[in-house]
Structure 1
């Protein structure tokens, strides 16, 4: 597992893709799974390994700023340890990436993993 540089504030992210019904899917080791609104223990076991730790300043310019609203996890996750602090990275269907406030993009590459450009 990769971690961020020593001293850099980090953030766990979960790349997600929108579905036709307004929900999201995420990538697991085996396939894509529906992002659960009310996760069971088994759901949590699927979500956690699908997260990636990145530098927080990839998401916001300056670590003190709040995360963008579109990265908020489902409201029901707030009380679940391990899920409450995850930032969702909703990939836009046309670009297959998420645009950060600084204009850079983040996307999940099947070979390189999380890529910021």
Structure 2
């Protein structure tokens, strides 16, 4: 009976050690995110969200600091006080130093230019 209890306890300890080695969390760090945007809004209208934790930090003077790990994804979102507006921002993998460029207007493509010409000069 004592041997069975000892063997079970040893297996539990080995299992715990094995799981901590295999599933070691990525180290946490504070990411410094710089935002370059071409929108008609002030930079303080934007925030950065850690999609892994849900944490949101606003930009101040174009810079935000947020806790993250290497496996986390960060996304540019609107400041939570603008909840009525929908915005789909850039999503990137977390790094200690990040520079994100956010464009609010899609660049004009040749297809959209030709579509506009077709609509304008249509004989229908």
Which TM-score bucket, shorter chain as reference? under 0.3
Give the structure with the higher percent helix: 2
TM-score, with structure 1 as normaliser: 0.25
Structure with max Cα Rg: 2
TM-score, with structure 2 as normaliser: 0.24
